[in-house]
């Protein structure tokens, strides 16, 4: 008797194949046919879970968000309360690095997310997802900064978001070709400056 196929497991297998193709070939290089070949399935099996290219793209991006979200969940704002000096910098850097391309897995996630963000510029159907992901990250950063007692958390979160975006682009693309050490050093310098200013001039 043939083994029973778990539908959720099979769907996740297809999503993982789509994710790998986006990393390797970009959104335009990912088709249902290529995903089927990458997953070792026939195209009918892929269409059973995804009707079109848009659905596959959205699934790959949601996979990216889910991976990042699981890591970020380990860094609660409550765990930052009362930290100062190097302890505060280390904790905040560990949080931010969860969404930066500082290893192979996170580089792949950043590549998928960047492809999707670029596509959203001309394809409005993708914008709600990118806007929600950005808003969620901004809120998490603002909450973390607030827990550390930083003043003007919305503005500081804006600047940190911009830094994350710039470091991601300069790492994933040939634009800057930053290495991990430079990414981490740049981030640490920024966080150190933000937290040092707070400790010198605590909010009232």
pLDDT in tens, 184-193: 999 999 999 9
Check: CB of residue 161 under 8 Å from CB of residue 140.
no
Contacts of 160 (CB under 8 A, 6+ apart): 96, 141, 145, 190, 194
Q: What is the mean pLDDT of the chain?
A: 90
pLDDT at position 60, please?
A: 87
% of the chain at pLDDT higher than 90: 70
Supply 111's token pair.
Answer: 């590549």
pLDDT at position 68, please?
A: 94
Cα 158 from Cα 139, distance rounded (Å): 10
pLDDT at position 178, please?
A: 83
Is the pLDDT score of 3 beyond 70? no
- Residue of 60, 56, 57, 59 lying closest to 47 (CA atoms): 56
Helix (H) or strand (E) holding 167: helix 153-172
Cα 22 from Cα 108, distance rounded (Å): 9
Cα 156 from Cα 138, distance rounded (Å): 10
Whole-model pTM? 0.87
Three-class SS state of 50: coil
Number of H helices, E strands in the chain: 9, 0
How much is the average pLDDT of 33-55? 91
Q: Which domains does the chain have, with CATH numbers?
A: 1-51 (1.10.10.60), 60-200 (1.10.357.10)
* Angle at CA of residue 64, ends 63 and 69, nearest 5°: 95
Is the pLDDT score of 204 beyond 90? no
pLDDT at position 1, please?
A: 33
Is the pLDDT score of 2 beyond 80? no
pLDDT at position 177, please?
A: 75
pLDDT digits (tens, 9 = 90+) for 124-147: 888 898 899 999 999 999 999 999
- Sort 69 into a burial class: Cβ within 10 Å, 0-12 / 13-18 / 19+: middle
pLDDT digits (tens, 9 = 90+) for 71-123: 999 999 999 999 999 999 999 999 999 999 999 999 999 999 999 999 999 98
Is the pLDDT score of 180 beyond 80? yes
pLDDT at position 84, please?
A: 95
Helix (H) or strand (E) holding 159: helix 153-172
């Amino acid at each position: 008797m043939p083994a029973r196929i778990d539908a959720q497991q099979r769907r996740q297998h297809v999503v993982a194949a789509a994710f790998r193709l986006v990393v390797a070939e970009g959104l335009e290089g990912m088709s249902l046919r290529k995903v089927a070949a990458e997953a070792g399935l026939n195209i009918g099996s892929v269409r059973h879970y995804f009707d079109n290219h848009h659905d596959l793209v959205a699934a790959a991006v949601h996979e990216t968000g889910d991976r990042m979200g699981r890591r970020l969940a380990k860094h609660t704002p409550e765990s930052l309360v009362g930290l100062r000096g190097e302890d505060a910098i280390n904790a905040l850097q560990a949080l931010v690095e969860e969404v930066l391309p500082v290893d192979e897995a996170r580089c792949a996630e950043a590549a998928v997310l960047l492809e999707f963000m670029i596509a959203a510029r001309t394809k409005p159907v993708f914008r709600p997802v990118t806007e929600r992901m950005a808003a969620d990250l901004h809120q998490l950063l603002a909450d973390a900064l607030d827990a550390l007692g930083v003043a003007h958390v919305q503005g500081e979160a804006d600047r940190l978001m911009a830094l994350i975006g710039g470091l991601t682009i300069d790492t994933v693309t040939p634009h800057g070709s930053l290495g991990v050490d430079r990414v981490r050093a740049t981030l640490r310098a920024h966080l150190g400056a933000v937290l040092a200013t707070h400790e010198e001039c605590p909010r009232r």
